[in-house]
Amino acid sequence: MTRRRALIISFLLAAACSGTDAVPGTTAPATTTTVAATTTTTLPPPTTTTSTTTTVPPVPFDPAGATIPAMQAAMTEGRLTAVTLTRFYLLRIQEFDDGLDAIIYVNPRAILEAAALDRERAAGAVRGPLHGIPVVLKDNIGTADMPTTAGSLSLDGFIPTADATQVARLRAAGAIVIAKTNLHEFARDILTVSSLGGQTRNPYDTARYPGGSSGGTGAALAAEFAAAGLGTDTCGSVRLPAAFNHLYGLRPTIGLTPTDGVIPLSYTEDTVGPMARHVIDLAILMDATAATGSRYTAAAEGGSLQGVRIGVIDALFEPSDPAVTARVQGALELMAANGAEVVSAPIPNIVGLRGNATGVFLREFRFALDEYLAGQPDAPVESLAEIVASGKYHPIITAQLQRALAATLDSAEYRAALDRRPIVRDAVTDWMDDNDLDALAYPASTYAPATIGSNQRGNNCGTASVGGLPALVVPAGFTPNGLPVGLELMGRQYAEETLIAIAAGYEQVAPEWTPPEL
């Protein structure tokens, strides 16, 4: 943990422990004292015995492993406050992030925001299920009160002019952005290493990768640094960290959730998606950020495997680690034993149809990033060319940045990559329609998290990304040496409710969430 992060957390915890809202560098709000009302009752004449009634204070709530609805219920009952919950997560960041490097920046106003939300609740105003709930954001998602860096030293200290739309929606719903998380620099790969944040490590085995590029969010949630969080997914960047950190993670349909205010990798393939330890928490974040009411929460609450038909894409199981295949098959067998019908889905040439899933964003990155920077007058650099010239980036992305500088959108390869999108989408959708399927299944990664310094294989991101389709990863258990495995469920466009309902049905019969031994 950097000295700056450590100091911020120390100040925040001191403020929380002292009972004040003040944090160094901020102005404390006026102190309000609330006195409990006293009710006077006329008692009968005294008798030979005296009865004394003692008010028992509420039993404190332990947030470890809890769902967001359980936290809200505890707040309603007076067993938990937003300040106490925020302090719980700050303590965990302070204690465990040194060994993980999941966090780039801690919100210095987190306790202030929590205290303000507690006052709202005390006044009878509760914004919804995220009121007073701390969340983390991948550090390419813009925040107007904290740096947004994409993990790059070239953007160190940069604060955007406005919150990303999804951040604004989370805050309006009462969420507290407790911290920004590390990512593979500029979201360019799946290892989660950056010049600003270093190498994030997997909480289940710190010698291994956490997945990426949203690996900081994945590691932070597995380590319980927040209740839930957001990542971005261009090709597996939410789904792979979910699989590698024993989480649920959703890549929404292209266009369903806004990406404005996000430092881009691709004009046309970027999505922002939620990650969480429980399906209901993922659904709550979707309802807040997709601005659709409570449809996803309702899908999670009514989730079931009964009558569900799932097609297994066998072609996406190879090549693979047999231990990973066994866990994915075990999860499918569990679904089948609890009401789902699991069948084979040999979609013709599904791998060949999608082509190279990186063909679009490799060419779009420079243009998308330059356009973003042009709209940010306070950005320390104005273009990718300036970033490359500065040398302020991790050496691991040098070749990728050089290729991006040389890329053009006026090429047959780029046009062919765009042309594949409706072909893949229609192939998947037509097969599902013809075979009456609710979802398609395959490993999120055919290999477990690799040892840091080696090559990470197995990412199955391409079909959903090229097709612009939603895909949700569910935990499938662990390999014999304790590494998390993820099963990916892909659906039709805008079928997020169906995927969430299936995942919730699976969660009901799957083993309980297992935290890492930190």
- Give catalytic residue positions: 138, 213, 237
What are the beta bridge partners of residue 472? 250, 489
To the nearest 10°, report the CA torsion of 375, 376, 381, 385. -20
Sheet strand arrangement including 103-106: 103-106, 176-181, 134-138, 228-233, 271-276, 248-251, 471-478, 484-490, 439-443, 309-312, 341-344
Residue type at 102 in one-letter notation: A
Tokens of 405: 């500088």
**b/e code 261-291 from CB counts within 10 Å (16+ = b):** bbbbbbbbbbbbbbbbbbbbbbbbbbbbbbe
What whole-number distance in Å separates Cα of residue 329 and Cα of residue 487? 9
How far is it, in rounded angstroms, from Cα 2 to Cα 434?
55
Per-position b or e across 419-445, b if 16+ CB within 10 A of its CB:
ebbeebbebbbebbeeeebbbbbbbbb
Measure the CA angle with vertex 270, ends 198 and 344; round to 5°.
Answer: 105
Q: What is the helix (H) or strand (E) element at residue 309, kind and residue range?
A: strand 309-312
